Every structure is written in C-alpha cells, then in structure tokens.
Chain A
C-alpha cells in the first residue's frame, strides 16, 4: 500500500463523512413547528351512506394561522385537501369560524385567525358500489403562520386517516361498540 492510496482513502472518507454529517445537521434545522396534526375520528361507513369525520390540529403557541376566511384577499386561507381513493368521497368540509384578534404589530386591525386547537369537520361518503375494506386517506393542511411580529412562508402539513367501508350490519355493529 503506497502513501498515495492512503491519501486517496483518507480523502474519500473525509468526503463521505462530511456529506453524512452535513445531512445529519440539516435534518433538525429545517424549520420550526407551527401546527401539529392531533387526531382524526375513526370512520366506519356503509356503501351508499355517509359518516361524519373530524380532524383536530393544534396551532403551537405563540403562533396563529389565518382562518379559512381571512379578512383580506392577500392573506392565505387555511385549507384542507385530500387525495381520495375511488371507494370514498368527502362531502362538504366545515371550517370553524376564525377568532377576530388584533396583534401588537397593528392593534387597530382585527384579523380572522385560528390559534390553539382547530377542529375541521367533514362528511365521508361511500358510493353504493364501494368495495368493503379499510382505506387510508391522505390529507394535507395548507396554512400560513405568523407570530406577534413576523410571518412565515406558507406550509403544507400532511396527515392520514382511515376509513372503513363495511356492510350496514358490520357498520352498525362497530358503531355500537
């Protein structure tokens, strides 16, 4: 083994470990947490029927996010979106009303915002021809957070929940408990 090969090995090792360490370094540094997905209610629905579902998110202190209906057009509304399998559909989504709050950066203007726990409700609909089974639905909460003196770029929070499509008997049995 000559010294040139040793140098080569050392340089390669430096490069590899630098890349590895840099990757490790970046993982925790990519931003702060504004909103957590807390839970979704379990959903059992019969083919041809609908069932309610609710999603709970928690806006971390000291942040707030715009409500689904901010008071000015430039502000980015909170919205929830889903990728649905063919076996289930989602009916109307009901967002909670925003709290009208003024913030230190402009005490004279109220904004429509969410803070703390935010519960968004919806209705899951299973078509009559839906096959029985449990389906994992992928959702995404789009929001834009601020605190008392700065605002942060819009973000998307992915989450999942399960919908079980079962027969009416199976469904009612499950709902009884």
Chain B
C-alpha cells in the first residue's frame, strides 16, 4: 500500500513539474552571482519596487486581444478600454519621471490630431506615484490632447508588469494588439504602427512575433 502512495506522489510531482516547465519564463534578471563576498548586490528580495509590481505575467502577444481594463481619468471618470472597440487605440504607459516618455508624448499628440478623424484614440496611462494634480499639470505642459488615466498595479500586471517605460500597445479596431513598443521607438515607427492598427498598412508577412 505504501508503494501505491509513493507511486501516486511521484506521478503527481512529475505532472506538476512538467506543468511548471511549460509556464512562461519571466526571468529578466541579468544579475550575475556576486563573487565578491564583501559586495552586497541589490538582489530583488531586498528591493521594494514602486509603483508597479515586478513582472509576474508575460507581456501580451501581438495578435492577442488586449487585456481589458477600467481606469479613472484625471477628472474622476471611469474609462473602459473595450468601450473603444471600433477605433484603433494606442495605450501608452508612461510616468512623469520617465524622460523617454516625454519625448514620445508630443509625437502622440501630433498623431492623435492627424489620425483622430480616421478613428485613432490615444490613451495615456500614468504609472506614477505623483498625485493627480501633478500628473494633470505635467500632461498640460506636454500639450496632451488625449485622456490620461491613472494606472494601477493590477493593470500593469495584465500588460506584463511594465518593467520599463514607455510601454506602448497598438490595438486594431477589433481590440487585438497589432503592435507594441517596449521603450522608446522613433516617431516613424510609432506612426507606422498606428497606420497598421488603423488598417492602413499591409501586414508584413515576414515580420515575426515581437
């Protein structure tokens, strides 16, 4: 009988190990073991990242439905991503402390003006500890002409943890992710991604999954 128990346990452990092995690997840790015993590295157990959680989920893949969310804008209005279905949407995660984000924002302002009449909607999601007033003031200084929403850790997790900013997701009119940019891309690359999301650009069959 004990043999049967051991057998059941063994099978269970192997099955779960196989299951875990199939899970996506999230490791972005490039830290190498510190061979100097006097050194103390900032290994993650000692760190308290803020405001977003460490990446626990994989970044949504191009071609998949964008994870839906409901966030609050700077006027306190609840905004649901899926309510924009039928439009091409750019979801731009940014923060006031992110210099590359400040480069990208005026481009998004111009692109919103240019492609808004064709069905583009840019949504800025502030991943920031700053208060609403500071975010609003920052957005005003940047001339932002699109809704700015207050991001949450839960939404960050839905989008892969948002380890670095800016993180920009381009959604086609059906709500699928047609492209994404992790970190700053050039204005022309962003514009191409918007055209693609609007259905104005043929998909390059040679382009692989990002």
Whether A25 lies near B26 (C-beta < 8 A) is yes
Interface residue? B46 (CB, 8 A): yes
Given contacts A29-B55, A151-B99, 17 further A-B contacts (CB under 8 A): A6-B8, A9-B8, A10-B9, A11-B12, A13-B12, A29-B26, A30-B55, A31-B54, A32-B31, A33-B41, A35-B42, A36-B34, A37-B42, A150-B100, A155-B49, A156-B48, A157-B47
* Nearest-neighbor residue (CB-CB) of B34 within chain A: A36
Whether A105 lies near B103 (C-beta < 8 A) is yes
B25 to chain A, nearest CB (A): 7
Whether A156 lies near B9 (C-beta < 8 A) is no
Whether B28 lies near A32 (C-beta < 8 A) is yes
The bracket for how many chain B residues form the interface is: 35 or more
Whether A32 lies near B30 (C-beta < 8 A) is yes
- With A1-B1, A18-B16, A32-B30 known as contacts, the answer to whether A150 contacts B42 (CB < 8 A) is no
Residues of chain A having any CB pair with chain B under 8 Å: 1, 6-7, 9-11, 13-14, 17-18, 21-22, 25-39, 74-76, 103, 105-106, 109, 111, 144, 146-147, 149-160
A159 to chain B, nearest CB (A): 6
Whether B183 lies near A31 (C-beta < 8 A) is no
Whether B103 lies near A13 (C-beta < 8 A) is no
